[in-house]
Amino acid sequence: MKKLINNPESVVEEMLAGVVAANPTEVRKLPDANVIARKNSPVAGKVALVSGGGSGHEPAHGGYVGEGMLDAAVAGAVFTSPTPDQVYEAVKAVDSGKGTLLVVKNYTGDIMNFDMAAEMAQADGIQVASVVVNDDVAVENSTWTAGRRGIAGTIFVHKIAGAAAEQGAALGEVKRVADKVVAHVRSMGMALTPCTVPAAGKPSFTLAENEVEIGMGIHGEPGTHREALRPAEEIVRHLMSKILPDLPYNKGDEVAVLVNGLGGTPLMELYILNKTVSEILQEKGIAVHRTYVGEYMTSLEMAGASISLLKLDAELKALLDAPANTPAFRQR
């Protein structure tokens, strides 16, 4: 294992210290929990957003803490759900009295632990609502999930629900908007290489030199199948053939596109993927309002990518276009 770390047991704590050192005017770390919080939280009169999950997906989730997105992000061990106590501490730290929305990806551990944290917070008199993201169209049930997995489409939930909260919407309204995003976003990914969890010290799975896995999950969960590496255009057309009919997306629709790298894929290759995404949408008569290309939700050093499409209406478009200022997402 070759990694730029000091101790496999302290990677999360040292990473969070590095995040705060790089962004001292924007975020802070809670003293007794692996939680990154907005520097000025709790923000008076504002519904708070709390998300999180296992570490190893950076910049998710701490990179999205700030104006127009999250108020706190909870970091579990690598690829491991944060504990209920950690999530509870995050809620207490950022709730302003207007309530807190928990944004949870659909993994069994995350669902259970965020639900327990919500119960703890509600017992303290804090209003809590939750939204569960399940945008991955690859498989219906998989390792660690009942139902579809939550992957990079979660970034659109952070952005749009965060904008609604920043504009003063009440908790019920923020949850409604977040649920609307979940209903209108679909994603699918693929992997070229495995990744290595620092504590394990060896790759979590193996792929042959010329083999890829289609539909791979962000923790290395199995996808739909393995096949020989094909040209990028053919891979994108396969992924889009699964994403487009699922909602479905139709001629005349308008979408936001997210081409997301999994940690080990050069930006050059992501833009090559986006070229075909753009061509397919043009062929289908689907307009693109915004495109985001880069690393938004990774899987350590895994090489691969995912594609997410969000169908827009006037409300979602306005909230997507709203300003945001976080360590990993800045939009004016």
Q: Which of 183, 203, 232 is the last residue in one of the domains? A: 183
Considering the domain boundaries, does residue 203 fall inside one? yes
Q: What band does 266 get if pLDDT is binned at 50, 70 and 90? A: very high
Considering the domain boundaries, does residue 138 fall inside one? yes
Per residue in 15-65, pLDDT (tens digit) is: 999 999 999 999 999 999 999 999 999 999 999 999 999 999 999 999 999
Query: Which token pair is 218?
Result: 């962000």
- Is residue 189 located within the same domain as residue 176? no
Instruction: Please give the pLDDT value at position 141.
Output: 77
Considering the domain boundaries, does residue 326 fall inside one? no
- Is residue 195 located within the same domain as residue 173? no
User: Can you tell me the distance from the alpha carbon of 302 to that of 105, in angstroms, rounded to the nearest whole number?
Assistant: 20
Q: Which residue has the higher pLDDT, 274 or 142?
A: 274
- Is residue 129 located within the same domain as residue 243? no
Q: Which of 183, 211, 238 is the last residue in one of the domains? A: 183
- Is residue 91 located within the same domain as residue 115? yes
Considering the domain boundaries, does residue 332 fall inside one? no
Considering the domain boundaries, does residue 3 fall inside one? no
Q: Whole-prediction pTM value?
A: 0.97
* Domain containing residue 252: 185-321
Per residue in 143-170, pLDDT (tens digit) is: 767 799 999 999 999 999 999 999 999 9
Q: Check which CATH number belongs to the domain holding 317 and give it.
A: 3.30.1180.20
Q: Which of 119, 153, 183 is the last residue in one of the domains? A: 183
Active site residues: 57, 219
User: How many separate domains does the chain show?
Assistant: 2
Average pLDDT rounded to a whole number, residues 87-99: 98
Considering the domain boundaries, does residue 16 fall inside one? yes
- Is residue 138 located within the same domain as residue 219? no
Instruction: Please give the pLDDT value at position 14.
Output: 98
- Is residue 244 located within the same domain as residue 130? no
Q: What band does 260 get if pLDDT is binned at 50, 70 and 90? A: very high
Per residue in 217-259, pLDDT (tens digit) is: 999 999 999 999 999 999 999 999 999 999 999 999 999 999 9
Considering the domain boundaries, does residue 328 fall inside one? no
Average pLDDT rounded to a whole number, residues 92-116: 97
Sign, CA dihedral 305-309-315-318, equals positive
- Is residue 15 located within the same domain as residue 143? yes
- Is residue 226 located within the same domain as residue 166? no
Residue type, 226: R
- Is residue 232 located within the same domain as residue 317? yes
- Is residue 168 located within the same domain as residue 226? no
Considering the domain boundaries, does residue 251 fall inside one? yes
Give percent of the chain with pLDDT exceeding 90.
96
- Is residue 142 located within the same domain as residue 214? no
Q: How many CB atoms lie within 10 A of CB 123?
A: 9
Instruction: Please give the pLDDT value at position 142.
Output: 72
> If we measure between CA atoms, which residue out of 135, 139, 130, 131 comes closest to residue 150?
135
User: Can you tell me the distance from the alpha carbon of 248 to that of 317, in angstroms, rounded to the nearest whole number?
Assistant: 18
- Is residue 144 located within the same domain as residue 206? no
Q: Across the chain, what does the average pLDDT equal?
A: 97
The residues facing 76 across adjacent strands are: 54
Instruction: Please give the pLDDT value at position 146.
Output: 79
Q: Check which CATH number belongs to the domain holding 133 and give it.
A: 3.40.50.10440
Q: What is the 3-state secondary structure (H, E, C) of the chain?
A: CCCCCCCHHHHHHHHHHHHHHHCCCCEEECCCCCEEEECCCCCCCCCEEEEEEEECCCCCCHHHECECCECEEEEEEECCCCCHHHHHHHHHHHCCCCCEEEEEECCHHHHHHHHHHHHHHHHCCCCEEEEEECCECCCCCECCECCCCCCCCHHHHHHHHHHHHHCCCCHHHHHHHHHHHHHHEEEEEEECCCCECCCCCCECCCCCCCEEEECCCCCCCCCCEEEECCCHHHHHHHHHHHHCCCCCCCCCCEEEEEEEECCCCCHHHHHHHHHHHHHHHHHHCCEEEEEEEECCCCCCCCCEEEEEEEECCHHHHHHHHCCEECCCCEEC
